[in-house]
Chain A
Amino acid sequence: MTSTESLIDRRQLAYIASQAADARLNVELETEGMTLNIGPQHPATHGTLRIIAHLDGEQVVWAEPSCGYMHRGYEKLTEVRTYPQVTSLVNRIDWLGSFANEVPFILAAEKLMGIEAPPRAQWIRTILFELSRIANVSLFLGDLGVQLGAVTPVFMAFRDREHVLNLIEATTGGRFHPNFDRIGGLKDDLPAGFIDETRAVMKTLRNFCTEMEDLLFGNEIFQSRTRGIGVIPKDIAMQYGLSGANLRASGVDWDLRRDQSLPMAWDKVDWKVWTHPDGDSFARCWIRLQEVRESTLIVDQLLNNIPSGPVMAKVPRIIKVPEGEAWVSTENPLGEMGYYVVSKGDLGPFRTKIRSASFNNISIVPWILKGVYVPDIITILASLYFILGDIDR
């Protein structure tokens, strides 16, 4: 711990010294900084995030994220919807891994009602959850290339992600917004041929990961652009409430899939939580790559022993959730996503608080962007990996 503290101290001292030097220079030469608005419409912001960056030449003096350009008010909207209707809203929070958004909400409602989905439903939920993680993060791997100037990886990502989306579509009927999870289970069982096809697709995805390692991660330019850029020490990462791969890349061994007991199937299979000691951009990207591969292995193992039985527990036709409060969070593709549901015994929630991963993940932006160059802003933002829907909700 002391080594990281002294690192931060040195970093801050160096920063203060450079600021003082700049101030002297400014007095002598009367140079003035430039404020650059990166966004709201900029290809690197995955939507409409705005980064206000004050530049000195190409170096960032300070930067601040400004969000809310895409606020859709889902927390408020849940108050005027019934419980089954809410899933179609929260689908749209992290639109690349939609199914994973539904699960924590449904789990919270089930917790309040005191019911549990049958084992087969839990298994299928976990499979779909991991499929949406793969769909989400594989696109990140492709997009990472584009952010750093390599155009080819994104096409490979879209090519192989398509297979995963086809699987999700075959099961749920929706490619992006499945709306498949129900209180007490799932809407439907798996379609015929799903298991064989999924096995083949998981193999394709593992090949895709290897391909990305060869094409992008092994590339020297890529490494020189990401290694040592945007280092987040362990304690800083925890102070800012980072979660998901961003936290694990800083060396914190923390994964909600493993660290809490939920009525899901993760504890039934054998898998590994990857961490990286460096905490730089490369570590964050590398962790995500490993997680895609790990997810394919999880899905493979889950396919081996899906229990038989119904996919829906016995629930009343009109769902009324008893009075109470519940908090459930899961390890979503972007990090920890949780729902705090307050029920007054009505058809819909009285109040819902949505804790989305990206909102906390980008809170570190002002700290991490201090003193970096403009190209590194893009690297760091890409490696922090946020989705605008997940920030603004």
Chain B
Amino acid sequence: MNALLAADLPYWVQSLLRVLGGLVAVLLPAGTIVYLFLFKMMSFMQSRLGPMEAGPYGSMQLFAEVGKWLQKEDITPARADRTIFKIAPLVVLASTFLLVAVVPFGPDAWFTNFEAGVFYMLAVSSVSVLGILIAGWSSANKYSLLGGLRAAGQLIAYELPMVLAVIGVIIQAGTMNLQGIVVAQNGGEIFGWNGLGNPYILTQFTGFIIFMIAVQAELTQTPFDMPIAESELVSGYMTEYSGFRFLTFFIAEFATAGVFSLIASVLFLGGWGVPFAWFDWKSIDDISDWMNVVGPLIMFTKMMVLAFIIMWVRFSYPRFREDQLQRFAWKVLIPISLVNIMITAILKVAF
């Protein structure tokens, strides 16, 4: 991939390749496997078997459902704002595509190597709010409108704790480059002991918890699924969508869960790396080439663990009310993350 990108291609071709590479290499497999794994897992949690008919143990279920949705009629409500209505799902999906572009999968396996990777990641993840808001607004449906407004309020409220939680990591790593953060974790040490490196889940545990809560809210998963709220708003901003466009929302939901798990594993679990002390690597240049193959597998394992946690919470909790959620974000999460930043900064200077 890198050799290809290093070749003399126009900038737009490079960008296109990066995004398509993300789609083909990461999002499709991640989406499929996350979807199947989670549906089976959720079924066992709920004492049932889950999909069993399509393929062995229902492993082809996603393809069956995609096929079903593609056959359905693409309905636009008569009073809807047609253009915006049709764009909205794509905006949501685009945010997922853009997110995956900065995630490093190995020492050389990345799509882009931004210096301000964390900044970029936080910025593009909020693009999905826009998609949800315009989907709610343009549907010409009162339930959708309520859902869209709730989504906007919620996603903006949770953007802040997420940013603040990540700042602790940035302070510790001393870089905003995601690759740099991975290297800093695996090459790091905790009080002189480097057997595990320094995965920030240990030193930034508060930050990790806040980040995961914010991710849960960002993904509009239960306990923060008020914008969707099947039992109140009948799926909120998605109510009027059918066929392919609903499929887009649906895939974006699972793919974004996967991508946020990837990002959380990069920020807090050491990403693709193994502790450098195990192989006597000193810097990123020493790392053997086989890490480009093993690294993505390690990432994938971590992603599954985190996605499991996200879905575990989703299937065991009831949902908050909108005002309770705002109170939780502003009165609990933000003060805690500010204190976390302060303590991290003090300790960083002290050690």
Contact = CB atoms under 8 A, between A and B. Distances in A.
Interface of A: 34, 36, 42-44, 58, 145-152, 155-156, 159, 215-216, 219, 221-222, 224-225, 373-378
27 contacts: A34-B142, A36-B146, A42-B234, A43-B230, A43-B234, A44-B232, A58-B146, A58-B322, A148-B231, A149-B229, A149-B317, A149-B318, A149-B319, A150-B317, A152-B45, A152-B46, A152-B315, A152-B316, A216-B318, A221-B223, A225-B318, A225-B319, A374-B233, A375-B229, A375-B321, A377-B232, A378-B232
Given A43-B234, A219-B318, 8 more contacts: A42-B234, A147-B231, A150-B318, A151-B222, A152-B315, A155-B46, A216-B318, A221-B320
Given A155-B46, A224-B324, A374-B232, A148 B226 contact: no
A374 B146 contact: yes
Contacts of A375: 226, 229, 232, 319, 321-322
Interface residues of B, number: 27
Interface string B302-333: 00000000000001111111111000000000
A373 B322 contact: yes
Contacts, number: 79
Contacts of B316: 150, 152, 215
Given A44-B231, A219-B317, A149 B322 contact: no
B321 A373 contact: yes
Nearest to A382: B231
A222 B225 CA distance: 14
Given A36-B142, A155-B46, A376 B317 contact: no
Contacts of A34: 142
B48 interface: yes
Nearest to A144: B318
Interface in B41-93: 45-48
Contact of A43 (B47, B231, B319, B320): B231
A222 B318 contact: yes
Contact of A378 (B48, B146, B231): B231
Interface in B228-260: 229-234
A137 to B, nearest CB: 19
B27 to A, nearest CB: 26
A34 B140 CA distance: 13
Contact of A151 (B229, B234, B315): B315
Contact of A150 (B146, B222, B229, B323): B222
Contacts of A378: 231-232
A148 B318 CA distance: 5
A386 to B, nearest CB: 15
**Cβ-closest 6 pairs across A and B:** A149-B319, A155-B46, A148-B318, A150-B318, A375-B321, A149-B318
Contacts of B46: 151-152, 155-156
Given A44-B231, A374-B146, A378-B232, A145 B318 contact: yes
B315 A373 contact: no
B47 A149 contact: no
Contact of B319 (A152, A155, A221, A374): A221
Interface in B210-234: 222-223, 225-226, 229-234
Contacts of A224: 320-321, 324
B47 A156 contact: yes
A219 B280 CA distance: 48
A376 B232 CA distance: 9
Contacts of B232: 44, 374-375, 377-378
Nearest to A43: B231
A216 B321 CA distance: 16
B82 to A, nearest CB: 23
Contacts of B233: 374
Nearest to B316: A152
Among A43, A148, A216, which residue has the most Cβ atoms of chain B within 10 A? A148
B48 A155 contact: yes
Contact of B223 (A149, A373, A376): A149
A34 B142 CA distance: 8
Nearest to B43: A155
Contact of A149 (B146, B231, B234, B324): B231
Nearest to A155: B46
B49 to A, nearest CB: 11
Nearest to B324: A224
A373 B47 contact: no
Contacts of B234: 42-43
A44 B231 CA distance: 6
A213 B263 CA distance: 36
Nearest to A378: B232
A385 to B, nearest CB: 14
Contacts of B143: 36
Contacts of A221: 223, 317-320
